[in-house]
Structure 1
Amino acid sequence: MEQLAVRFADLVAMDLKCDYAVNPIGIDTIRPRLSWALESGGRGRKQTAYRILVSERLELLNRDQGEVWDSGKVISGRQNQIEYAGTMLQSRLCYYWKVCVWDQDGNLSEWSKAVYWEMGLLKAEDWQSSWVGCPESEQEKTGPLFRRDWTIEGEVLKARAYICGLGYYELYLNGVKVGDHVLDPAQTDYDQRCFYVVYNIAEHMNKGQNTVGVMLGNGWYHQNKVWNTSVMDYGKPKFVAQLVVTLSDGTEQILTSDEQWKTAPGPIVADNIYAGETYDARLELDGWANPGFDDNNWGQARRVSPPGGKLVIQMMPPIRKVKTIRPVRMTNPQPGVYVYDMGQNFAGWARLKASETEGTAIRLRFAETVDADGMVDTASTGVFATGVEQIDTYICKGGGLEIWQPRFTYHGYRYVEMTGVAGNPELDDLTGVVVHTDVEPAGSFECSDAMINKIQHAVLWTQLSNLHGVPTDCPARERCGWLGDTHVIAEMSIYNFDMAQFWSKYIHDIETSRRGSMPFDIAPGKRLCLRGVPDWSTAFIQLPWYLYLYYGDEQIVREHYSGMKLVLEQFHSQAKQWILYEGRGDWCPPGSIVPIETPVEITSTALFYLDCTIMSQMAKMIGHAEDSEKYGKWANRIKEAFIAAFYVRENYTFGSQTADSIALYLGLLPESDAKEVAASLADDVRVKHKSHLSTGIIGSRHLYGSLSQYGYGDVAYALLNQTTYPSIGHLFSKGATTIWENWEETKFNAKLNRVEHRSMSHPMQAGFGAWFYQGLAGISPDPEQPGFKRIVLRPQIIESLHYSKAEYRSIHGRIASHWKRHEGTLCWDITIPPNTTAIAYFPAQSADCISESATPIGDIEHVRLLGVENGNVVCEISSGAYHFEIG
């Protein structure tokens, strides 16, 4: 193996990941993908080659030996989505790896730090355990407990637990909860796949006596209270578990789930994901998961039939308790009624502290808002649709301070109504617990405008409140993965969070919802809406594209290409003269749930065009040249038909803000008329709607970018700073801290004799948040070199803003764009990760007025002038940090 004398320490491989995860325990792909970022203090740094070592033994890896895989020196600039190509991987084994790289001058870097991945149970026969549940006599009891004593004969070297508990579970070892996951596993269609999780349990194990405990909840598996209860329920709670201990002498001891486990009812007497949880502390069995507990009165667990789905690893961030929120105030609107205001609408639950007498039932009722009398108003949580409110009940055991929080439910709320307490509660007796899929932050954005920053804050809270194993539409009423919502929010979510694993999982969920060619409108699970329409099904094509575009993920495209192709062919068969008339349309514009100004055929056809263009690119990328050519021709035909059917040439418009915004974004219009259409759109906003939007979720996604791209940033700015109906500022004046489903419209429900509000936390209305990064900061990926291998930097400078600042941690590394005005000069600081380049658009007529650190831009090494385009000086810039001045 080549070893050069000169070692170039300025280029460092870091942030090593396997299948998007850092040191994952539990991988069930036999060719996992490896990636790393590069760090350097200089400019123009590139990777020209790499070498990967993989070993079962860390000591061999530390001696630079990869007995499992030594890639050798690979001449390549690639640093992500690199498939493992060593010897066959084995179940339960841990593999250590590291990488070194060669730079642009042929110098070799230091080795990266050693990291690892560990395999799960790769074959069905690796599972020696049986699925178990309650005895038939206790099938109707909720929250069952299971326990098993286990003697370990020797010193523990390594210990793992493999478990799937449906619908939810908690695993205990010697009285201690294992891991920090909650609401585990993530929701799937359990007839097709069920997630298991691997835990490192070595620290919990004793030499000698041990006790393993499992508590089960209903979750989504046994959800039988809301919607069509005869259809939604998969069956009674059950679990499968396998614990493997490796002793210091190399021998193994395995504990399986079987009928030798003992079971008894627990203190959770009711739990439902929508309706809440009831916990009777008087029924607690102290020490039930500890050695020495007397379980003679417990029944025997029963072997039960497995769910229909295949056991697969949960390869996504788990749901966790992420943070706590202290209430900002407590009121007493009626005798015995105490209302806590958390100050923020979010998803999670409340932690209760109480000192009451035995049998006292404390009732917590959750809502997003309060009425004029200060009482909680649960209308926006969807009572009109679900028939239930979000209520947790805790029954005290008495005898002192009791602290409790639920396990198997969650709520979307800001306000909590507490009743049942005998004394006067304190503000600190309730704490809000924020619960969501624990995705890592990937981006940050701020600007000089307080309103825009407030909107960004609300966008983040709205998105996080709707990540619970699936991308929910709202955290209270439906909690469903509507496909139409997902393609609208995908890019916004990716800029703000690391969503690679999350969206990969959800694409598989959509696959499980397909019946024939078209996926149903909701995934996953049994509430499928029994309908699949093009403008919602497009998510199955768009989401793989975004994973390819933002993460360079070709595998997800290859894996689902045949399904995506069937969906696109179905669109084609439904179209009439290339126009698609089926769909839900521009959902939730001001004043309505269904579209008003924009006919369904406009949005469905535009998305049909988008799908054809990206399918053409994806087909080309994976070597399907004929498909690529065909879909490209389809796109041309759609464009011709779209313009002919909807374009009003004399007025330069397609008839609505949504139609014009999408046409401008997609280039779905005569190119020579683009500026005129943009002017017409701006006029529609300013004059016809008096600086208000009239778009639904599809139009809002592209409204601001389409205006700013063509020089109407001031119009976009006015929209975002609007404070009268309909606007986000108006919602803020009503107390909103998240983005609402609609624009405050209500209707009277005669059946319930109450006003019907819509959800106050709906990310589908927040898809425009991608524009803060793409537009104001100007950070976009290049489809020709995806995964930000080549970055497009093109900020939309708005006169009303003094600065805009964003960072994005791409799969290649940290990208930054920060522009500000200073004494008549536009200053622009950018950071480009090593081994990438950027195409930068400077808002200037000539390169003569651009300098970098006081040096004319034409004299800067690593900056190459490409020309002038539409009032922008275009340059190619190599990696590094730069300070430009334009003036």
Structure 2
Amino acid sequence: MGCRGAKGRGRRRAAVGRESHVQSDLRHRRAPVRLSQRDVRRLPVRDHHRASFAERAHRVARRVAPRRRRRHPQRVRGCHVTPVDQDLSPLTVGASWITSEQWRADPTGGLPVLGTTLRADTPPASAVLRVCGLGVFVASMNGRLVSDDVLEPGYTDYAKRAEYCTYDVTTLVEVGDNVLHIELGPGMYRSQRHDDRWTKILTDYGDLAACASLTLGYPGGQEVIFLSGTDWGATLGQTRSSNWTGGEDFDARVQLDTSASGVRAWPRAVVARTPTELALTPKTTPALRVREVIEPKSITPVAPRTHVVDLGVNVAGWVELDLPPQSEVTLRPAELLKGDGDIDPTTEGWGPVYHTVRTGDRPLTWHPRFCYNGLRYLEVAGLEEPLRPEEVRGLVIAAGARATGEFSCSDQMLNQIHRLVHRAVTSNMYSVFTDCPHREKLAFLEELHLVYPILQWNYDVQALLTNTMLLTREAQGPDGHLPLYVPEWDPFPDPWRGDVNWGGAIIHVPWQLHRSYDDISVLRDNYEAMTRYAEHILLARVDGLVRYGLGDWDGREARAVPLVTTSALARMLCVLSQVAETLGLDSDAARWRKVADDVVERVRDEFWTDDLSVGADTLGETVIALQCGVVPPEHVSLVVNRLEERIARQRFVVDVGEVGMAALVEVLAAHDRHETLYRVACQEELPGYGYMIRHGATSLTETWDGPTFGISQNHFMNGAIDAWFYSHVAGLQQTPTSCGFRDLVVRPRPCGDLRSATASYRTKRGTFSSAWTIEEETFRLEVEVPPGSQCAVETPDGRRRCVGSGKHAFESALR
């Protein structure tokens, strides 16, 4: 749509007359701002400490659209939105769910586009658009996207609830006729297999539909409200099909007239068929945005009319292409290459994943509209000449959560591992944290608490994980059972479904959020679900043991199921006791402590032996038993020594699953075995982080054999070591009883060949940081303590000093 500049999006050639279905220029479009997490927190809230984040978000609606004298909104008949709160859910004022009759007649014949014209006789003082799409929507006003947000609105259990998004579109409304149109894609709301494409989950909750209101505010408190209804137009768009995991088809030759006269000529919309119990709530999580733009590393011919684009790093998002007119291309994403240089798409899904694009008479700038990929490589087939580097861009998409942490040190292997973990976390940070950004894209629960620290250190995850706990409560069965992932659109069979380390997220994650953000409401909101789940697992035991589940899952097989799952139950009950105590429920706390002790004793009776071994005496069983309190206290030191000696004999190669890896890092760090952890991190044999890096991984992989095994190459479940970088190499900690980083500890542990390390964490109070260097035999440390916090600083020589907020410098001997 006109000329494109070069600033901010990498190099581009001029594209006068270029047709762009996405209007995705991140520089030239106006950027109305969606209500953010920060906006919510700044609101004056009565009894603020008792208000949950979701409750505070609901109150935003009152501030954005205060109750005023209104003109009567235009009235439409049809299927109205079910209100959660009539006063706070603005779409309930009369908007209808609508769809296209053409699409309903043939859901494979093109995706629906809904539109209307509206007139503003004078410039409004404000204009607020509220819109929900089932399942993914893109809204435009007068030819401009209403926001830089993408792939909205996010995951929910569509049988129960959907989210609406709120946008300030004041700068987009023009005097005279205006055109609002909404494009729809299926997402996970209507995930169907219409061709050979890979489809992970099959769902069909109803028609692709939208519900919207636009409120124009004028001086004196007058409002004019435009509502979605059957007086809107509805047609089929240029995106012909979309599959959340399988890809899209786009045809620019399809005529789509979005002018005022064109929209008026569209067939009329019809009332959509939607779930009968569907409620509508405001979106409370950070929207997805393009967070990074990557230029391709290379573009290589591999066959006639076929080329492979290498972005140089494994990412999640879109590849945007400038395509010539009258062309037809097929695009296949991949994370790996075969030996001959062709793509190896096996990790994308257990079936074909591809996009097809047809251009018209003009050049076209294109990227997927209603889905995304996890990829490093893109095969482009169908062009006579390869695209030039300036015609290809990798658009990295992730939730707009605030980046909170930075880490670096003098050891390049540790820096590379940190980058692998950070890339995997970012790639899976969408409306929920997914397991991988390609073949599944599901919010599996166990990762959220097993490696919670790596999420917290790198991003502000309060809103994302608070929302995930809401999804988890909504997924809980009448008997207290919890699923493997949420929302549970399509249940997994046993033994996958119901493992304690997966369902236990309902207890662990709220406690972890409370510790990080000093928010007691997340404990109150989830306590009933916690207790119901605990009771369910206790009743599911056979002879006192949990005998089903995945145990120490390693991405391929279940390990040591009864020991791991029952030990995890004991640890979960200990946390539940702490939650009850924090909520002032002393009798509950005592009861859960007693039950936890009984479970520990039962595991000891079954698996502990007098020769200081547990179960089959694997590394994973040993560290999990130590973490969960199964090893009798009088034997802990001996068992830890034995564990460390065994790891050293194995040349620091540790074969553990995701439960065992999180436990290994926690146990060894708690006993100051930092030299061993350093060696485990740096060794390059299989299994290990160094092995992944040696074989070319650019993001953390699902299994230890990384690029040498065809499973996800972008998966954060084994990333626990990153927490050790922050908490022990750099030394950033809070005391065991502190919440919200009020009472801090800086205790750096130089080890291995490290000569320096630095880390910072942006708490809600301010920056908490540590930076140390070793020069000859002198250890120098600089610490920053945020306002309102106090900090105990311990240098490697054992000296401990207490300081207040501000910047401080220390010097000591190494030992």
TM-score of the two chains, using structure 2 as the length reference: 0.87
The structure 2 residue matched to 1:445, chosen from 399, 403, 407, is: 407
Whether the 8 Å CA contact 2:733–2:744 is kept in 1: the answer is: yes
Corresponding residue for residue 211 of structure 2: 240
- The answer to whether residue 572 in structure 2 is matched with residue 572 in structure 1 is no
Q: How far is the alpha carbon of 1:706 from its aligned partner?
A: 2.5
Structure 1 vs Structure 2 CA RMSD: 3.0
Corresponding residue for residue 20 of structure 2: none
* 1:726 partner letter: P
The structure 2 residue matched to 1:562, chosen from 528, 545, 555, is: 528
The structure 2 residue matched to 1:621, chosen from 568, 582, 604, is: 582
The structure 2 residue matched to 1:219, chosen from 142, 165, 187, is: 187
Which segment drifts farther, 552-561 or 230-239? 230-239
Equivalent residues in 2 for 1:271-420, closer than 5 Å: 271-286=242-257, 288=258, 290-293=259-262, 295-296=264-265, 298-307=266-275, 308-356=277-325, 358=326, 360-383=327-350, 387-389=351-353, 391-399=354-362, 401-420=363-382
Q: Which runs of 5+ in 2 are unaligned?
A: 1-32, 67-84
Whether the 8 Å CA contact 2:49–2:521 is kept in 1: the answer is: no
Hey, what's the Cα distance between the residues in 2 that align with 1:248 and 1:415?
53
The structure 2 residue matched to 1:268, chosen from 208, 218, 239, is: 239
Equivalent residues in 2 for 1:530-609, closer than 5 Å: 530=493, 531-576=497-542, 578-588=544-554, 593-596=556-559, 599-609=560-570
Q: How far is the alpha carbon of 1:660 from its aligned partner?
A: 2.8
Hey, what's the Cα distance between the residues in 1 that align with 2:786 and 2:52?
19
Corresponding residue for residue 676 of structure 2: 715
Q: Could you list the per-position Cα deviations for residues 331-368 of structure 1 after superposition, in whole angstroms to 9, with x for gaps in the alignment?
A: 11222210111100011111111224x2x211111000
Bigger proportion of residues as strand? 1
* 1:744 partner letter: D
Corresponding residue for residue 882 of structure 1: 808
The structure 1 residue matched to 2:490, chosen from 515, 527, 542, is: 527
Equivalent residues in 2 for 1:387-536, closer than 5 Å: 387-389=351-353, 391-399=354-362, 401-516=363-478, 517-530=480-493, 531-536=497-502
Q: How far is the alpha carbon of 1:424 from its aligned partner?
A: 3.6
SS in 1 for 2:453: helix
Corresponding residue for residue 71 of structure 2: none
SS in 2 for 1:519: coil
Corresponding residue for residue 4 of structure 2: none
Distance 1:606 1:842, change over 3 A: farther
Corresponding residue for residue 786 of structure 1: 739
Q: How far is the alpha carbon of 1:785 from its aligned partner?
A: 2.7
Distance 1:294 1:477, change over 3 A: closer
* 1:338 partner letter: H
Distance 1:711 1:470, change over 3 A: closer
Hey, what's the Cα distance between the residues in 1 that align with 2:575 and 2:179?
54
Corresponding residue for residue 641 of structure 1: 602
Q: Which runs of 5+ in 1 are unaligned?
A: 1-22, 36-52, 55-67, 72-77, 97-118, 748-755, 845-871
Hey, what's the Cα distance between the residues in 2 that align with 1:644 and 1:673?
15
Whether the 8 Å CA contact 1:652–1:680 is kept in 2: the answer is: no
Q: How far is the alpha carbon of 1:745 from its aligned partner?
A: 7.9
Whether the 8 Å CA contact 1:803–1:818 is kept in 2: the answer is: yes
Which segment drifts farther, 429-438 or 185-194? 429-438
Whether the 8 Å CA contact 1:178–1:199 is kept in 2: the answer is: yes
Corresponding residue for residue 710 of structure 2: 757
Distance 1:633 1:778, change over 3 A: farther
Equivalent residues in 2 for 1:716-755, closer than 5 Å: 716-744=677-705
SS in 1 for 2:438: coil
Q: Could you list the per-position Cα deviations for residues 804-840 of structure 1 after superposition, in whole angstroms to 9, with x for gaps in the alignment?
A: 2111111222111223222312222222212112244
SS in 2 for 1:820: strand
Q: How far is the alpha carbon of 1:282 from its aligned partner?
A: 0.9
Q: Could you list the per-position Cα deviations for residues 507-542 of structure 1 after superposition, in whole angstroms to 9, with x for gaps in the alignment?
A: 111112211201111111412315212121111111
Hey, what's the Cα distance between the residues in 1 that align with 2:260 and 2:55?
45
* 1:733 partner letter: R
Distance 1:95 1:197, change over 3 A: closer
Q: Could you list the per-position Cα deviations for residues 164-188 of structure 1 after superposition, in whole angstroms to 9, with x for gaps in the alignment?
A: 0111111111111101111000111
Corresponding residue for residue 819 of structure 1: 772
Q: Could you list the per-position Cα deviations for residues 596-631 of structure 1 after superposition, in whole angstroms to 9, with x for gaps in the alignment?
A: 5xx112221222122112111110111211110111
Whether the 8 Å CA contact 1:536–1:584 is kept in 2: the answer is: no
Hey, what's the Cα distance between the residues in 1 that align with 2:49 and 2:392?
48
Hey, what's the Cα distance between the residues in 1 that align with 2:223 and 2:198?
47
TM-score of the two chains, using structure 1 as the length reference: 0.80
The structure 2 residue matched to 1:809, chosen from 762, 772, 783, is: 762
- The answer to whether residue 642 in structure 2 is matched with residue 680 in structure 1 is yes
SS in 2 for 1:588: coil
Q: How far is the alpha carbon of 1:230 from its aligned partner?
A: 9.2
Corresponding residue for residue 6 of structure 2: none
SS in 1 for 2:806: strand
Q: How far is the alpha carbon of 1:746 from its aligned partner?
A: 9.9
* 1:786 partner letter: C
Whether the 8 Å CA contact 2:114–2:181 is kept in 1: the answer is: yes
Q: Could you list the per-position Cα deviations for residues 723-764 of structure 1 after superposition, in whole angstroms to 9, with x for gaps in the alignment?
A: 1222221122221101111133899xxxxxxxx821111111
Distance 1:125 1:499, change over 3 A: closer
Hey, what's the Cα distance between the residues in 2 that align with 1:600 and 1:712?
27
Q: How far is the alpha carbon of 1:139 from its aligned partner?
A: 4.5
Distance 1:775 1:495, change over 3 A: same
Q: How far is the alpha carbon of 1:312 from its aligned partner?
A: 0.5
Q: Could you list the per-position Cα deviations for residues 248-288 of structure 1 after superposition, in whole angstroms to 9, with x for gaps in the alignment?
A: 343211100000001111111111111111110111425x0
Distance 1:238 1:378, change over 3 A: same
SS in 2 for 1:835: coil
Q: How far is the alpha carbon of 1:502 from its aligned partner?
A: 0.4
Q: Which has the larger radius of gyration?
A: 1
Equivalent residues in 2 for 1:42-191, closer than 5 Å: 54=44, 92-94=62-64, 122-123=88-89, 126-135=92-101, 136-137=104-105, 139-191=107-159
* 2:803 partner letter: I
Whether the 8 Å CA contact 1:342–1:414 is kept in 2: the answer is: yes
Whether the 8 Å CA contact 1:692–1:727 is kept in 2: the answer is: yes
Q: How far is the alpha carbon of 1:138 from its aligned partner?
A: 5.0
Hey, what's the Cα distance between the residues in 2 that align with 1:558 and 1:316?
20
Which segment drifts farther, 613-622 or 136-145? 136-145
